[in-house]
Structure 1
Amino acid sequence: MSRKIIILIFAILSLNCFAQNNSKEDSITLKKLYNTSLLNGKSYEWLDYLSNQIGGRLSGSLNAQKAVEWGEKELKELGIDKVWLQPVMVPKWTRGVTEYAYIETEPGVTTNVPVCALGGSVPTSIGGIKAQVIEVKGLDELKKIGIDKIKGKIVFYNRPMQADVIETFMAYGGCVDQRYSGAAEAAKFGAIGVIVRSMNLRLDDYPHTGAMSYGDLKDTDKIPAAAISTKGANLLSSMLKLDPNVKFHINMNCRTWKDVQSYNVIGEITGSEFPKEYMVVGGHLDSWDLGDGSHDDGAGIVQSMEVLRLFKEIGYKPKRSIRVVFFMNEENGLRGGKKYAQVAKDKGENHVFALESDSGGFTPRGFSLDCNADNFEQVQSWKPLFEPYLIHFFAKGGSGADIGPLKKEGMVLAGLRPDSQRYFDYHHAKNDTFDAVNKRELELGAATMASFMYLFDKYGVK
């Protein structure tokens, strides 16, 4: 056997041995992270306080400011290297007194239905509005009907989330345009208001709010916009089939104010080898005001904070600087995510990786990644490390709204992907509360995020 062949064989054996040792070391580290999260975790305790002691945290509200102060305090108590607040101007919109609506089949004969104003909507006139209803399945149908049949009426958008789409975020994306742009489009045809079927696969009495936009409409042309519960939507649709002349009454007292100052909350563990390479993990601190925002996105906040705590708990010292960011104003403006990215760009900071959790605190399944082929191949090689924890989903796709503005060539953006089948039962609704979150599922998610961060920190971005 030639000397070159012997050297080649020795090199291959050495690489295999190195890979096996690394794999064993990584398996041990992941086991420590999962064990610590499940046996000695803090995420559920943190979520309990954020949800039950502070509550809903709509941008610009007193509760949002309380959440900022809480987040800063908790990060400082972790004993990490740096904690600071990053100022950001955010919109302020208030709901006012509880909305009220009913279906009227004839004078004095009414049936109450659950509704809520969409975020950013203008109010109704004092005492509310009442008019006949025109039902449509979407924006295209609205245009086909035309102004003659729409003027002076309330447009009822009743396109449901598509139940046979297994990926529920795709089902959501397939109908959310009617919520976001429905009022702006209906106003162009002379409608006096809109009601939108809640973005929810379950039949219940919870209306789901969410952001909407008037586009470039003048203030005088804006019309009130509300969500109706899925049961309410079915009832109204059935009654319209029996009698197209039924009327709908709605009263809303919401209001938009001047922008106010708020903050992103940021904490950092400085890297031991590459301190100028930044890795971000985060979620959005704000939530809608109907529930307490436990799934959307209290879960993401406490899981992200837990990543840093787990590293400290097991004695892992990151090579790169790890930042946790609690972004403000994802729900109705994305101001926090945009501000963080702009400041990073202005400072010339080198962000190489970002991970977001904003899909609820359900059982983790894996990650979706916005990255190049080399990095995706690297992630695929880690699948055996995650299989003992039933983490199997690694796919190209979106990452997260708040980390999206950081995107640049060569960077890896990732989103935690929990099981999504129940997420839209709670999304933007009154029942998004602490009792809807399972402690074990939340802790598994935190450990999965920490494991992913550990691997990217150890092996770097390709």
Structure 2
Amino acid sequence: MKKLFTALLSLSVACAYAQDADSVTIRRIFNESLANGKSYEWLRHLTKKVGPRLSGSEGAQKAVDWTKQIMEEQGFDRVFLQDVMVPHWVRGAKEEAFIRNGKQKITVPIAALGGSVATAPKGVEAGIIEVKSFPELRAMSPDKVKGKIVFFNRPMDPTKINTFEAYGGAVDQRANGATEAAKLGAVGAIVRSMTNVHDDFPHVGGMRYGTGVALIPTAAISTNGADLLSKSLAENPNLTFYFKQNCETLPDAKSYNVVGEIKGSEKPDEIIVVGGHLDSWDLAEGAHDDGAGCVQSIDVLRIMKTLGIKPKHTIRAVMFMNEENGLRGGVQYADQAKKNNEKHLAAVESDNGGFTPRGFGIVGTPEQRAKVMPWKPLLAPYGLTDIGAGSGGADIGPLAQLGTVLFGFKPDSQRYFDYHHTTADRFETVSQRELELGTASMAALIYLLDQHGL
């Protein structure tokens, strides 16, 4: 009994010592990020000097070249490009739209959804049908919809505390609205922007066409525009709506994931990934979506090098290409990992904006999540209390098939959809301190994953 007590006491002392050492290192990580962080100035360059970075565009290639250069300048052990063929959709000339209500023509802000076809050169004008859901639309007679424009006007639910949950409850209109409308013979679709903010910015994003239906032009309308259109329809159901857009899909283009790594000192063949997606929508600087995640990920590796932390496992920063309209970068990365027999222990993604850190969502087994729970007291002093089962990230999602445990960085969600996919997603909307706290949060998690595994 005495020997057992002694062994348990020794184990307890060892665990306490390890926790103390981890606490000191995490404090050093936060100090470095907050005092000497590079992510904010890197984000300034990415948004102001490179700018919008839609897959296949000149901006996307500039972003590839610049992030590769930055990682080389930081002296990472290896920096390389990973080829990926991406969709190449272009917007063309600015869209036009108006409500024709009797003798009145009222202009409203719209923007073509990514992947949409153009209207005819002269545009399209037709009567308009307002619906709030697909079941409501499907219940209509085709004769009522044929030749009309369908207006999807279901708002995000403002009562949801987690705005990503509210987004998930409305975004099917944007993704599949054109297909559902075309099934009943509609000639176009207009979709309310995915935000609870009332503004004049159309919030764009990707859409897709189902098989066997006509490809009809589809655009997002600003929330103010949607409210005006709905009010006008209530007063005059016979009004017409006009819109013109000039977008087209070009042949796929060659692009790249950008990868930088620090080799592991003990298990170099086992990899931990931290990353974000390098592409952004063409109307946006892409500061929160997802320039923030990219520069944070690069700075995680810089902090480890600066502090002399020699990781046991190989740590990779990955700038994924084509999250916004195809996810081909994430798929290609996972495919190459499988082809090369690489073992990925964990992957962390930041794609929820550069706001105040709250925690991490975990995609893994209950046993793997349980391994993370003892770290909560180490992370709680930095506001990281929301840690548990959740989502990982779109780009790292394909790694789950390899048994990789996924972590989604969770900043405060309340303002994200104020800017998401719009011209308002600018560098000026990002707080330096919040961004650098996020960098440190991810670096702390990467450190713990490396030290203790799963």
Which one of the candidate residues 329, 334, 341 is aligned to 1:341?
A: 334
Partner of 2:27: 31
Contact 1:198 1:228 in 2 (8 A): yes
Is 1:115 the counterpart of 2:110? The answer is yes
Separation in 2 of the partners of 1:288 and 1:86? 21
Residue type of the alignment partner of 1:259: D
Unpaired runs of 5+ residues, structure 2, are none
The residue that corresponds to 1:313 in the other structure is: 306
User: How much has 1:146 moved relative to structure 2?
Assistant: 2.5
Q: Is the 8 A contact 2:344 2:402 kept in 1?
A: no
- Residue 9 of structure 1: CA displacement? 1.1
Letter in 1 for 2:384: I
1:179 aligns with 2:174: yes
Q: Equivalents in 2 of 1:146, 1:25: separation in Å?
A: 69
Question: SS of the counterpart of 2:139?
Answer: helix
Q: 1:408 to 1:14 in 2, by over 3 A?
A: farther
Partner of residue 143, structure 1: 138
2:439 aligned partner: 446
Give runs of aligned pairs for residues 68-147 of structure 1, distance below 5 A: 68-107=64-103, 109-147=104-142
The CA deviation string for residues 37-76 of structure 1, in whole angstroms up to 9 with x for no partner, is 0000000010000000010100000000000000110010
1:207-246 alignment, distance < 5 Å: 207-217=202-212, 221-246=214-239
Q: Is the 8 A contact 1:184 1:217 kept in 2?
A: no
**Residue in 2 that maps onto 1:391:** 384
Give me the whole-angstrom Cα distance separating, in 1, the residues matched to 2:429 and 2:388: 27
**Same amino acid, percent of matched pairs:** 55
Q: Aligned-residue CA RMSD in angstroms? A: 0.9
Whether 1:65 and 2:58 are equivalent positions in the alignment is no
Q: Report the CA distance between 1:96 and its aligned residue.
A: 0.6
In 2, the alpha carbon distance for the partners of 1:248 and 1:411 equals 49
The structure 1 residue matched to 2:192, chosen from 175, 193, 197, is 197
- Once the two structures are superposed, residues 116-171 of structure 1 have per-residue CA deviations (whole angstroms, 9 ceiling, x without a partner) of 00000000111211111100002111101121110011000000000111111111
Measured in 2, the distance between the counterparts of 1:127 and 1:253 equals 10
Letter aligned with residue 406 of structure 2? L
SS at match of 2:120: coil
Q: Any runs of at least 4 consecutive aligned residues in structure 1 with deviations exceeding 2 A, and if so which?
A: 408-411
2-structure distance, mates of 1:392, 1:401: 23
Q: Determine helix, strand or coil for the equivalent of 1:265.
A: strand
Aligned-partner residue type, residue 162 of structure 1 = D
1:381-427 alpha-carbon deviations (Å, 9 max, x no partner): 11111111111101202100000001146531000000001100111
Cα distance in 1 between the residues matched to 2:207 and 2:274: 27
- Distance (whole Å) between structure 2 residues aligned to residue 139 and residue 123 of structure 1: 23
C-alpha displacement at 1:92, in angstroms? 0.2
Please name the residue that 1:15 is paired with: 11
Q: Supply the AA of the counterpart residue of 1:42.
A: K
Q: Which residue does the alignment assign to 1:414?
A: 407
| Counterpart contact for 2:188–2:218, Cα < 8 Å | yes
Mean CA deviation greater in 209-218 or 51-60: 209-218
What is the identity, as a one-letter code, of the residue corresponding to 2:162? E
Shift in Å at residue 217 of structure 1? 3.7
What secondary structure sits across from 1:407 in the alignment?
helix
Cα-to-partner distance string for 1:231-250 (whole Å, 9 max, x where unaligned): 11011001100110111110
- Is 1:169 paired with 2:169? no
Q: Secondary structure at the match of 2:351?
A: coil
Deviations 1:333-369 (A, max 9, x none): 0000000000110111111100000000000100000
Question: Cα gap change, 1:448/1:189 in structure 2, threshold over 3 Å: closer, same or farther?
Answer: same
The TM-score with structure 1 as length reference comes to 0.97
Query: Which consecutive unaligned segments of at least 5 residues does structure 1 have?
Result: none
How many residue pairs get aligned? The number is 454
Aligned to 1:50: 46
Letter in 1 for 2:113: L
> In the alignment, is the contact (CA less than 8 A) between 2:338 and 2:402 conserved in 1?
no
Cα distance in structure 1, aligned partners of 2:74 and 2:171: 39
Give TM-score, length-normalised by structure 2.
0.99
